[in-house]
Structure 1
Amino acid sequence: MSSKYMKIMEEIKLRLADGSLIAGSKLPSVRQLSEHFSCSKNTVIKAYEELEKEHLIYSVPKSGYFVVNEFQNAKNENEVIDFLSAGPDKNVMPYLEFQHCINQAIEQYKEALFTYSDQQGLYSLRVQLVKYLENLQVFTQPERVVVVSGSQQALNLLVSMPFLNGKNNILIEQPTYFGFIESINLHQATTFGIELSMEGIDLDRLEYIFRNNDIKFFYIIPRFHNPLGHSYTNSEKKKIVELAEKYDVYIVEDDFLGDLDPNAKSDPLFSFDPSGRVIYIKSFSKIFLPGLRIATVVLPTLMINNFLRYKFSSDFNSSALSQGALEIYLKSGMFNSHLKKIKEVYRTKMQILQEACELLLPANTHCTKPPSGFYLSICLPKNVTAKQLVHMLNEQHIYVDDASRMFLPEYKKENLLRLSISQVNESQIKLGVERLAHCIALIDSRKSHIIPSDSFMGKFI
């Protein structure tokens, strides 16, 4: 039976690939295929069930089977080396497991998932989120948790709303997540920067800014920073919270990759916060399913009503279907199993990337060395701009990110490149770095022939 049902699947996939079956096409009946392939109806049903699991076809009771959408032929996939995409690795996304959770949520909650729901988020989900956050050393109560439509929504709301300290200005690390820079630009918020390297920030400089610049909140990515990959030590985090308390500054902690931390003793800033000074944001987009559009925010009790008012004007409430399915996924223990798997996947990829960079990049090129996470940044020779390199690599189907958009104008660097390991195939990492190194050397040598060597010798970053 096995070989027959696989032959049926191959035949249908061929017809999808050559375009003879398109979106909405009705497939032959079970009886027709069983006669055509001289097999039992059970064999055909088995083939159709497997194609349904791959989301290529779907069944309509009493009507038959139909094509979901155009078949995406992946024959050129191996020609692309993707250091640009920052979503989760497609090979470890738990599609089928979560599909079961969606079905179960619909069965369990029925019409409750398709009407207006609690603006703060399903209470039963918030209970599960509190249990999940305990594993990250974030101890809170469901009443302080708000479910939002992705961390970007939370950040945008926090930029726009007034804070209890009555201050107006925002402080950010430089560089930082470009989505947050977009929000502050759209709201025309007065923003200060503080330089960040793999050695951290200057805490004396931080205190000076807190004391003199009317800072409403400090936006910080404490673990596996985007784009550098930097993580703060516990002592640094404790000091930052103490300074925020001293100068009445709030901290917005974006811990989007905290689950990947291999250091069990590493704590979030929230754990050093005795007074509600730290607003903690945890997204599920990078470690789980981006399309779920679910994140959680832990807020000081006195800020919740105002935050919900601003959220109401944005989307009223986040998707109840996503919330119900996530609740079941967390409660079942599936999420913990998923985390174990992805922690090893990303740690291994990051190790391979770092080894390739150390081995292959030119001596005047420097890279950051995060233990895990998604991001590693490369500081290029001053003769080489990230924009030049991105263009040259694109022509070879190698995709990397120019990090210049992650800076405020006064801090902008044109020679910082961000590499993401989340969606690149393990087997392609070394080849991608080889080609990257070759392009850096090529651009650098061309510039060397134009500019006299004594004008730039020894000035590489």
Structure 2
Amino acid sequence: MREMLNRISDGHFKPGDKLPSIRSLSEDFSCSLNTIVKAYNEMEKEHKIYSVPKSGYYLLGSRQTESSASEEIIDFSSAGPDRWNMPYRDYQHCMNQAIELYKEEMFQYSEPLGLQSLRYQLAQQLQDLQVFTSSKRICVVSGSQQALDLLVSLPFPNGKEEICVEQPTHFSFIDSITSRSLKAVGIEISQYGIDLNYLEKVFKERSIKFFYTVSRFQNPTGYSYTNEEKKKIVKLAQKYDVYIIEDDYMGDLDTKGKADPMFAYDPSGRVIYTKSFSKVLLPGLRLGMAVLPEELLRDFSRAKFAADVHTPVLTQGALEIYLSSGMYHAHIQKLRRQYKKKGTILKQTYLDHLPSNASFTGGDSGFYSMIKLPSGMKAKQLVEHLKKKNVLVQDATNMYLPEYKKENRIRLSVSQVEDRKIPIGVKKIGEGIRDLQR
């Protein structure tokens, strides 16, 4: 196996290339077929290669070698899960089993709200996140963004029309609002959270249908509300008849055992809870869920049916098997340790390398954080400057509603960045900021 890894490192094979057959390697290395099979199996377990039945083995991907580290691109702009720690093999088993288990269901249309067996399993799983609800209130969606996009258009029981949203927030939700020309009120979120007095003023004086919030590891700031802040926000929503859409897309990664979602403080339906599996499993699965109040279930189901009839049965079935088998729990425990370590490294390197007139938010999960650049510096200028240094960062300008736009913020994610590269990349960011100030 060592010789094969050396060949991969040397660039002899490229991602997607078919690897030599078991028999040819056996002849090359003068060893038994079983030895080669064992080596390939070990490489497959480590997700370096994958097998295609009746075809052979293929290279999944390879990191660049240490010797070329100085030429490597350090990508802080990509925010997907770390592909090297995704459960490809485990999930493949679940997909194969789902094909057998749900082969009849694949020949007919399913329930718009999702497979009942998966919804039951999700209700059990949510209890670990302090979300206690009936499976009847759970809707399976094609990624949590689908749920959010449907909810912005639905009439709510309070009869109100405006949306209150954190500023900044992720691109897709901004698009859902602006593409429909909906009325929206922004509230700034910083390293200190939001101004709760201003939030009350907005709730009191405006016709707010719902407040959209990412309660943990907010995108792009990385901010997480304290339990006390969550309680106060829920009380304000109750007082002024405002719904809350709580996007807890990465709640699984929270290492604080006593951290509760807002849903825990009002499970009656005032808080609509959404969750995605994109950041902790495989984004290509496009699976998410929403816990809805009973009074919205009928309208949401009709809107879901109009959008895509139902979420694919096969991916739903595979997720159910993955959850019920205990694989998900083991996977999450590993990810928590991994991203916690990345976040710790990131925050320390911020302190070590950013100039004093730049500030940062978040970083706890290793997924998202944001840097506020010195006054007068444009994010797009720094983005272009850093590209020349092989460092990629995200200009956060388009993560604001047009009337709240700020142009001196960049977003970083270290989810796909090797630990050893984080200090190197942040040091270059700090140097880049200083370069543009001269």
TM over 0.5: yes
* Counterparts of 1:259 and 1:26, CA distance in 2: 37
Contact 1:375–1:420 (Cα < 8 Å) also in 2? yes
Contact 2:355–2:434 (Cα < 8 Å) also in 1? yes
Paired residue type of 1:348: K
Q: Quick one: structure 1 residues 345 and 40, their matched pair in 2 at CA, closer, same or farther if it must change by over 3 Å? A: closer
1:17 to 13, 16, 31: 13
Q: Quick one: structure 1 residues 162 and 425, their matched pair in 2 at CA, closer, same or farther if it must change by over 3 Å? A: same
Paired residue type of 1:17: F
Alignment of 1:2-151 (within 5 A): 17=13, 34=26, 38-46=30-38, 54-60=48-54, 65-66=55-56, 74-75=63-64, 78=69, 79-113=72-106, 115-151=108-144
Q: Quick one: structure 1 residues 11 and 425, their matched pair in 2 at CA, closer, same or farther if it must change by over 3 Å? A: closer
Paired residue type of 1:229: G
Which residue pairs with 2:206 in the alignment?
213
Give CA-to-partner distance per residue, 1:110-164, whole Å, 9 cap, x none.
3324542222111111111111111111100110000000011111111122222
Which residue pairs with 1:382 in the alignment?
375
SS in 1 for 2:222: coil
Superposition deviation, residue 234 in structure 1: 1.8
Q: Quick one: structure 1 residues 104 and 16, their matched pair in 2 at CA, closer, same or farther if it must change by over 3 Å? A: farther
Give CA-to-partner distance per residue, 1:349-374, whole Å, 9 cap, x none.
11111111111111111112453351
Give CA-to-partner distance per residue, 1:160-199, whole Å, 9 cap, x none.
2222222221110111112100111111111111122222
2:243 to 229, 243, 250: 250
* Counterparts of 1:416 and 1:12, CA distance in 2: 39
* Counterparts of 1:160 and 1:412, CA distance in 2: 24
Contact 1:400–1:418 (Cα < 8 Å) also in 2? yes
Alignment of 1:283-322 (within 5 A): 283-322=276-315
Which residue pairs with 2:389 in the alignment?
396
Paired residue type of 2:377: V
Contact 1:88–1:422 (Cα < 8 Å) also in 2? yes
Q: Quick one: structure 1 residues 99 and 383, their matched pair in 2 at CA, closer, same or farther if it must change by over 3 Å? A: same
Superposition deviation, residue 203 in structure 1: 2.0
Contact 2:339–2:365 (Cα < 8 Å) also in 1? yes
Contact 2:14–2:61 (Cα < 8 Å) also in 1? no
Superposition deviation, residue 202 in structure 1: 2.0
Paired residue type of 1:154: A
Which residue pairs with 1:448 in the alignment?
none
Superposition deviation, residue 262 in structure 1: 2.4
* Counterparts of 2:254 and 2:44, CA distance in 1: 36
Contact 2:234–2:262 (Cα < 8 Å) also in 1? yes
Give CA-to-partner distance per residue, 1:406-443, whole Å, 9 cap, x none.
11122211111111121111000111111111110010
Matched, 1:337 2:337: no
Contact 1:171–1:194 (Cα < 8 Å) also in 2? yes
* Counterparts of 2:332 and 2:8, CA distance in 1: 35
CA RMSD of aligned residues (A): 2.6
* Counterparts of 2:94 and 2:130, CA distance in 1: 26
SS in 2 for 1:358: helix
* Counterparts of 1:271 and 1:9, CA distance in 2: 49
Q: Which has the larger radius of gyration?
A: 1
Superposition deviation, residue 51 in structure 1: 6.8
Give CA-to-partner distance per residue, 1:17-63, whole Å, 9 cap, x none.
379xx87x7966x6666556554444455466567664455232xxx
Paired residue type of 2:437: D
SS in 2 for 1:279: strand
SS in 2 for 1:413: coil
1:363 to 351, 356, 368: 356
- Number of aligned residues: 432
- The gaps in structure 2 that reach 5 residues or longer are none
Q: In percent, how many aligned pairs have the same letter?
A: 50
SS in 2 for 1:378: strand
- The gaps in structure 1 that reach 5 residues or longer are 446-461
Alignment of 1:260-271 (within 5 A): 260-271=253-264
Contact 1:159–1:187 (Cα < 8 Å) also in 2? no
Contact 1:383–1:444 (Cα < 8 Å) also in 2? no
Q: Quick one: structure 1 residues 386 and 333, their matched pair in 2 at CA, closer, same or farther if it must change by over 3 Å? A: same
Contact 2:129–2:260 (Cα < 8 Å) also in 1? yes
Paired residue type of 2:277: F
Paired residue type of 1:58: V
Query: Structure 1 stretches (4+) deviating beyond 4 angstroms?
Result: 5-16, 25-28, 30-39, 43-57, 66-69, 71-74
- Greater CA drift, 243-252 or 113-122: 113-122
Contact 1:9–1:48 (Cα < 8 Å) also in 2? no
Q: Quick one: structure 1 residues 367 and 117, their matched pair in 2 at CA, closer, same or farther if it must change by over 3 Å? A: same
* Counterparts of 1:205 and 1:304, CA distance in 2: 31
* Counterparts of 1:200 and 1:85, CA distance in 2: 24
Which residue pairs with 1:187 in the alignment?
180
Contact 2:102–2:313 (Cα < 8 Å) also in 1? no
Q: Quick one: structure 1 residues 48 and 375, their matched pair in 2 at CA, closer, same or farther if it must change by over 3 Å? A: closer
SS in 2 for 1:17: coil
- Greater CA drift, 288-297 or 196-205: 196-205
Paired residue type of 2:73: V
Contact 2:49–2:58 (Cα < 8 Å) also in 1? yes
Give CA-to-partner distance per residue, 1:258-289, whole Å, 9 cap, x none.
12222222211111115311110011111222
* Counterparts of 1:13 and 1:197, CA distance in 2: 43
2:341 to 341, 348, 362: 348
TM-score normalised by the chain length of structure 1 = 0.86
Give CA-to-partner distance per residue, 1:321-371, whole Å, 9 cap, x none.
111111111111111111111111111111111111111111111112453
Q: Quick one: structure 1 residues 50 and 204, their matched pair in 2 at CA, closer, same or farther if it must change by over 3 Å? A: closer
Contact 1:169–1:192 (Cα < 8 Å) also in 2? yes
Contact 1:175–1:227 (Cα < 8 Å) also in 2? yes
* Counterparts of 1:358 and 1:32, CA distance in 2: 53
* Counterparts of 2:361 and 2:274, CA distance in 1: 25
